[in-house]
Structure 1
Amino acid sequence: MSGTHSLDLRERVIEAWRQGKGKSVIARRFMLGYATVRRYIARFEASESVHARPHGGGAPRKVDATGEALLRQLVNEHPDATDEELARQYSQRAEDSISHATVNRVLHRMGLTRKNVTARRGGRQRGRRNADLEVRAGHAPGGGRRAGRGG
């Protein structure tokens, strides 16, 4: 499915139909599917409108503001925890299970990114990945750039 067609195209389909053109002819002329033309005409006959229907909504967020506060607290308590560990801890405290992917999306939406800290000479131990929490300057919560992609 490619998305909604322009209002102008919808109006031209209805105008051609009003002029007596057949649905198959209209579909070929405007390079639309026959079922699409039929739907536009049916919608127009039912409501006298060719406007697209509003978006149906979607599922509510799994983690609300209270959940975000809990997740922020967990990250502050365990800054080196993986997403899987944070999801497990969140599930224990909130009595609602979430996936590691949800944890990652929520942290990104909150503007919290995790930075890998590499082992340095005389410094940290090698082995387990160590992640520190930071709020990157210039990255607003829910911004267009995703952590770890591009430059």
Structure 2
Amino acid sequence: MSKALSVDLRTRVLAAVAEGASHRAAAMRFGVSAASVSRWRALDRRQGDVMPGPLGGDRRSGRIEAQHGLIRRLLIDTPDITTAELRLVLQDLGHSFGHGTLQRFFARHGLTRKKRPRTPASR
């Protein structure tokens, strides 16, 4: 997994640019890309420091989590609905989610979609 470069390095690179070095020259001097120098400079202008943002993690599950109540209601109303059918119903309601997104949603909430036949237990 990638790791953000240190704030110290970012600060030293931007100090070199402030002293008159071009982005490319500062990048070569410190062994980083010129694009990184540009991004760090924009970050410094925008938020006042060069602290890196969070890396990794889930950024998109909030969209499906916002529909938690709707999905639960659909599952209660039609307990034998398949994942494909659930996707179509949600799509008709204006919510488009992929199969994998629904599977991860089910796993997070402990929901199973396996249809088991109603047969007596074996001896």
Q: Which residue of 1 aligns with 2:70?
A: 70
For residues 70-102 of structure 1, the C-alpha deviation after alignment (integer angstroms, 9 at most, x for no partner) is 21122223333221111223445xx32423434
When normalised by structure 1's length, the TM-score is 0.49
The 2-side partners of 1:77 and 1:53 are apart by 46
Q: Which residue of 2 aligns with 1:89?
A: 89
Given the superposition, is the C-alpha separation of residues 89 and 25 from structure 1 closer, same or farther in structure 2, using an over 3 Å criterion?
A: closer
Given the superposition, is the C-alpha separation of residues 40 and 70 from structure 1 closer, same or farther in structure 2, using an over 3 Å criterion?
A: closer
For residues 39-71 of structure 1, the C-alpha deviation after alignment (integer angstroms, 9 at most, x for no partner) is 545665x5794425878xx8772562xx32221
How many residues align structurally? 112
Match of 1:114, SS?
coil
Q: 4+ runs of 1 displaced by more than 6 Å? A: none
Given the superposition, is the C-alpha separation of residues 100 and 81 from structure 1 closer, same or farther in structure 2, using an over 3 Å criterion?
A: farther
Q: Which residue of 2 aligns with 1:127?
A: none
Q: Which residue of 1 aligns with 2:13?
A: 13
The 1-side partners of 2:6 and 2:72 are apart by 43
Q: Which residue of 2 aligns with 1:128?
A: none
Larger helix proportion, structure 1 or 2? Answer: 2
Q: Which runs of 5+ in 2 are unaligned?
A: none
Q: Which has the higher contact order (CA 8 A, sep 6+)?
A: 2
Given the superposition, is the C-alpha separation of residues 85 and 50 from structure 1 closer, same or farther in structure 2, using an over 3 Å criterion?
A: same
Aligned partners of 1:83 and 1:100 also within 8 Å = no
When normalised by structure 2's length, the TM-score is 0.56
For residues 98-134 of structure 1, the C-alpha deviation after alignment (integer angstroms, 9 at most, x for no partner) is 234343344344x133164677xxx38xxxxxxxxxx
Matched AA of 2:63: R
Superposition CA RMSD, Å = 4.0
Q: Which residue of 2 aligns with 1:51?
A: 50
